[in-house]
Amino acid sequence: MGYGLQTSDSLKTTVAEAVRRASAALLDKQSPEGYWWADLCADTTLESDYILLQLWLHPPVDGVWNPPTRALVDKAVQAILARQLEDGGFNIYLHGPSEINASIKAYFALKLGGVPADDLRMQRLRLRILEMGGLQAANSYVRTNLSLFDLFPRDACPSIPPEIILLPFHFIYQMSSWTRAIVMPLSILHAANPHRPVPAGFNLNELFLPGAPMLPEPSLKNLTWRNCFLALDKFLKLWERTGLHVIRNYAIKKCAQWMIARFEGSDGLGAIYPSMQYAIMALDVLGYGPDHPLRVEAQRQFDHLMVDDQRGFFFQPCFSPIWDTAIAAFALEEAGEAPASALRRTMDWMLSKEVRRRGDWAVKRPDIPPSGWAFEFNNEFYPDVDDTAMVLLALRRGRASDESKQRACEKRAVNWLLGMQSKDGGWAAFDADNNWKILSHVPFADHNAMLDPSCPDITGRVLEALVVCGVPQEHPAIRRGVEFLLSAQEQDGSWYGRWGVNYIYGTFLALRGCEPLA
């Protein structure tokens, strides 16, 4: 359209018109209650795990699925196949390379869903898996999932003992919140060792790489945390066979109580797909039948993650309404195009979603009055720092119906953010001081997300929100936050974004955090 040839005035007019149209389009997507909510997409592992869950809940009889399950499995199979890469594998991010765990999950799900092993697509997938190390290269969660159906040797799976809930120093709270929400129900499953059936003749033997070791062995020559934990894992396997059943049963009971308590005020355990799936399976082995209210509600919340309409068939890993709403409101306020009535509905809705319950974060910060916002519609045990900062940025320019209520809410949220600062000066997502690096060497920590450390992107957003909300620049928390950002800066001047997973994301947020202080 020749924008480069426009005069300054005409370019301004063009930009203003684009902003007006974009604002109108965004407002058209606003819900009557005032929030925005877009689809949140993930990789094929969710559809693969869904087929695994159907095998758990509705196993085929004489190799035949019941009709309702068959229909959903077929849709999941097609959704998986549609995203197969040219080399035969499956990735975990757009345009990324084949990833071993996603590829193994896909093979299992496709074969179970009825795609023949001699299908060209399956042959290519099998070869790609073997090129990446075969089943022996799978991480602990994939191994454990398959071991539940005797498709992978249990002795080659890292122990996930429920007894970890009994360890001192608030051990389970040294893990990231999402790991914690997964490990608690998964430890119940691991302890049950259920040996669930698969169709006759079904196995994954063709995925084992000949000659590759099943499990890394600890080295007695090198005293490292990794070797120590591998040796501990051997002890735990012995404990499972010979330990006191009274201790194990007590630990399982405590894990179950912990899990069930966190159903309340949440759209499922942790309000995220993996922990919600394992919660259903854990309730099953604990003896909660399909008609028990807890089980019915857990299943309902999980099924709500499914999209099956004109958009296609896929699962959302969770919902993102508070995040979507805060960003949309902030953008409209910056553009200056939104009617006050529309934003008032948004402000009222966001105020109604403030978390007033003490969640897991309070274990390390017991003296902070509760506040903050989660990512999802309801996730009261897990408000997060990033959403809270973004909501505060949106609230500062908007006006709710009750301004005094809004100001009180903002004050609580600011105090909560200040209290959630870690000792290193930065801010993390869900917890403070979640940085026991030795836990990264635990055998079941190979999903690479065992910890929730301070990061530049969240710290930058928090600093911006605090300063905008009136926290003085000379406040010790602000100074320490800036010092953290300076220490986290890369040699080339950039910052890494943990939650945007790239340097542009980290850098723009770090700079926004520093901008009010310039």
Set 360, 384, 386, 457: catalytic member: 386
From CA 290, how far away is CA 284, in angstroms rounded?
A: 8
Q: In this structure, what token pair is assigned to residue 274?
A: 């993996």
Predicted pLDDT at 229: 64
* Residue (of 175, 172, 171, 138) closest to 156 by Cα position: 138
Residue 412: how many other CB atoms lie within 10 Å: 17
Predicted pLDDT at 515: 81
Buried b (16+ CB within 10 A) or exposed e, 253-280: eebbebbbebbebbbbbbbbbbbbbbbb
Which are the contacts of 87, defined by CB distance < 8 A and separation ≥ 6? 98, 124, 128
From CA 51, how far away is CA 20, in angstroms rounded?
A: 45
From CA 358, how far away is CA 416, in angstroms rounded?
A: 11
Residue whose tokens read 């009617």? 339
From CA 100, how far away is CA 76, in angstroms rounded?
A: 19
* Residue (of 290, 222, 315, 297) closest to 260 by Cα position: 297
Predicted pLDDT at 203: 97
Maximal CA-CA distance, the chain: 82
The one-letter amino acid at 439: L
From CA 262, how far away is CA 181, in angstroms rounded?
A: 9
Start-to-end CA distance of the chain, whole Å, equals 38
From CA 317, how far away is CA 185, in angstroms rounded?
A: 17
Look up 402 and say whether it is catalytic. Answer: no
Which residue segments constitute the domains of the chain, with CATH numbers given?
A: 32-40+320-517 (1.50.10.20)
Q: In this structure, what token pair is assigned to residue 415?
A: 């105090």
Per-residue pLDDT of the chain (518 residues; tens, 9 = 90+): 444 556 788 888 999 999 999 999 999 999 999 999 999 999 999 999 999 999 999 999 998 999 999 999 999 999 999 999 999 999 999 999 999 999 999 999 999 999 999 999 999 999 999 999 999 999 999 999 999 999 999 999 989 999 999 999 999 999 999 999 999 999 999 999 999 999 999 999 999 999 999 876 655 566 665 667 666 767 777 777 777 789 999 999 999 999 999 999 999 999 999 999 999 999 999 999 999 999 999 999 999 999 999 999 999 999 999 999 999 999 999 999 889 999 999 999 999 999 999 999 999 999 999 999 999 999 999 999 999 999 999 999 899 999 999 999 999 999 999 999 999 999 999 999 999 988 887 777 676 689 999 999 999 999 999 999 999 999 999 999 999 999 999 999 999 999 988 899 999 999 999 886 76
Q: In this structure, what token pair is assigned to residue 295?
A: 């089980």
Is 199 in contact with 222 (CB distance < 8 Å)?
no
Rg (CA), the chain: 25
The reported pTM is 0.93
Predicted pLDDT at 516: 67
From CA 480, how far away is CA 418, in angstroms rounded?
A: 11
Which are the contacts of 190, defined by CB distance < 8 A and separation ≥ 6? 144, 157, 159, 160, 161, 162
